[in-house]
Amino acid sequence: MECRAGCAACCIAPSISSPIPGMADGKPAGVRCPQLTADNRCRLFGRPERPPVCLSLRASEEMCGFSTVEALERLAGWEQLTRPDGHETIRDI
């Protein structure tokens, strides 16, 4: 499966615990990556500074569903199920 152009669900819904350019402490769940353009494209795509976590993601029907809304819902749900600290995420509030 190929990424849907402009989807960016994987750049918004999940938390990222490792540093990323523009967020030295990582990215909280539900927060747009600062590297996203206005049309939801990655400024770092294909560049060496793109974080390993981003490089490792692969679009799949299981993760992305059939729409951006479905991808956001799935990823937010997985984020909630796997968060280690038990704290509320932005989606819970």
In a domain, 72, yes or no: yes
In a domain, 3, yes or no: no
Q: What is the pLDDT of residue 54?
A: 92
Closest by CA to 34, choosing from 10, 12, 2, 66, is 12
In a domain, 91, yes or no: no
At 68, give phi and psi (nearest 5°). Answer: -60, -40
pLDDT in tens, 53-64: 999 999 999 999
Closest by CA to 74, choosing from 6, 7, 14, is 14
Q: Looking up tokens 């990823």, which residue turns up?
A: 75
Q: Looking up tokens 């494209």, which residue turns up?
A: 41
Residue 15 CB-density burial (10 A; 0-12 exposed, 13-18 middle, 19+ buried): middle
pLDDT in tens, 1-32: 899 999 999 999 999 989 999 999 999 999 99
Q: Retrieve residue 43's tokens.
A: 């400024």
Q: Retrieve residue 58's tokens.
A: 């692969």
Tell me the mean pLDDT in the region 80-84. 82
Q: How many domains is the chain partitioned into structurally? A: 1
pLDDT in tens, 83-92: 776 555 444 4
Domain range for 44: 9-84
Strand positions, DSSP E, the chain: none
